A and B are shown apart, each in its own frame.
Chain A
Amino acid sequence: MHEWALAEAVIATATKIAEQEGLKQVTEVTVKIGEMQDVERGIFRFALTQLKPENFRNTKFLLTKSKASFKCRICGNTWLFKKTKLDKETAEAIHFVPEVAHTYIKCPKCGSPDFEILEGRGVWLESIKGAK
């Protein structure tokens, strides 16, 4: 449900960019959704359509998915995030604040929590198209 808060952020940002670029109508907004945050797409899409302003009347919202991958700063190992390996509570904590992954996930090779989130963290406004 906190998907609404994120959808609101997307609309606010897309609105601002449309203004800056002088777009009268916004036709397409692409949002990349990182696997870690695991935003519920149905709710997110619904929230976007409910929150959109007038000049987004005909906007198509494209939601793309980005796999989450990590790179260990200690041993250099890279690996993929697997939500299925987490218990429900941990997955939910990461859903709210992906950074707490550093609390619960360790490098499978060396056990370090000091890894970089290469991609797939959260919600990202990828592109916006429209007519001037």
Chain B
Amino acid sequence: MADPRVNIIDKRLKNIRRIIAVSSGKGGVGKSMVATTLALSLVKRGCKVGLFDLDFTSPSTHIILGAEGVQPCEEKGLIPPVVHGLEYMSLVYYSGNHAAPLRGADTSNALIELLAVTLWSDLDYLVIDMPPGIGDAVLDLIRFVKRIEFLVVTTSSQLAFETVKKLGGLLQELGVPVLGVVENMKMTESTNLQQQTEALGLKFLAGIPYDPKVEAAIGDAENLLKTEVARKVKAIAQTV
């Protein structure tokens, strides 16, 4: 007759002010890095923040955060543990360090399950780290989270930007708010993608330089916040 879970999602997200999905048509452009740094920067600004890793098959945010030995608390639902000041949820609590070979329908089911049973507190922001592409996660968020807003990440490569154009275009067509586009791992001062972004009617949020110090800061939230990436992302955090 009916899947009961879908009717409780609104209630679970009711007390969250803003829900931001960090997304891209491509993988490897820095979605997880930007999502994690954005969430941490919002915490530093004094906001109440959640971070939800929806990249079930290739989760990364737990590694960037250095989240180890934490687990949700089971009460009348699942209460996410607090990691570096943010409420943190990921499938890795259940899949561990193993592969999670999930097909589309499974991804969707796991996403609905976690949305239905996770009890976030009253948050200012829930930042969602997305898998690459325009797949189940994007479609499900649009379907179940009416207030979803997207922040789209690209690199300076036209290859990445072309996929971002498609994602941005679809979101615009569906009337889903796009906060803007971030050009990550910039190696030059070129404003080419900024111009292309603005020509699409999308806001260009920031260019983040390629910062070789990022690698050493993986797993170390305090040091991550000292990188050039964090400096730029903090500026984005001021504007959202």
Contact = CB atoms under 8 A, between A and B. Distances in A.
Given A98-B113, A102-B106, A1 B4 contact: no
B8 A121 contact: no
Interface string A85-124: 0000000011011111011100000000110010001111
A17 B2 contact: yes
A14 B107 CA distance: 25
Chain A interface size, as a band, is 35 or more
* Closest 6 A/B residue pairs (Cβ): A4-B76, A5-B77, A9-B8, A93-B94, A9-B4, A13-B4
A6 B4 contact: yes
A103 B100 contact: yes
User: Residue among B93, B114, B116 with the most chain A CB within 10 A?
Assistant: B116
B5 A123 contact: yes
A102 B119 CA distance: 25
Interface residues on B, range: 20 to 34
Contacts of A127: 1
A9 B116 contact: yes
Contacts of B109: 98-99, 121
Contact of A100 (B1, B4, B100): B100
Nearest to B2: A125
Given A6-B4, A8-B8, A102 B100 contact: yes
Contacts, number: 110
Given A2-B74, A102-B101, 5 more contacts: A2-B75, A4-B76, A13-B6, A13-B7, A99-B113
Given A93-B94, A102-B102, A102-B106, A5 B116 contact: yes
B8 A5 contact: yes
Dominant SS among interface residues on chain A: helix
Contacts of A114: 101, 103
A6 B5 contact: yes
A118 B7 CA distance: 23
A95 to B, nearest CB: 9
A14 B1 CA distance: 10
A74 B3 CA distance: 28
Contact of A97 (B4, B75, B98, B110): B110
B96 interface: yes
Contacts of A13: 2-4, 6-8
A68 interface: no
A16 interface: yes
11 contacts: A1-B74, A4-B75, A5-B77, A6-B117, A9-B5, A9-B116, A93-B93, A99-B109, A103-B96, A113-B99, A124-B3
B4 A123 contact: yes
Contacts of B101: 102-103, 113-114
Nearest to B109: A99
B129 to A, nearest CB: 17
B160 interface: no
A7 to B, nearest CB: 9
Contacts of B195: none
B217 interface: no
A38 B77 CA distance: 15
Interface in A1-38: 1-2, 4-6, 8-10, 12-14, 16-17, 31
A2 B77 contact: yes
A10 B146 CA distance: 21
Contacts of B3: 13, 124-125
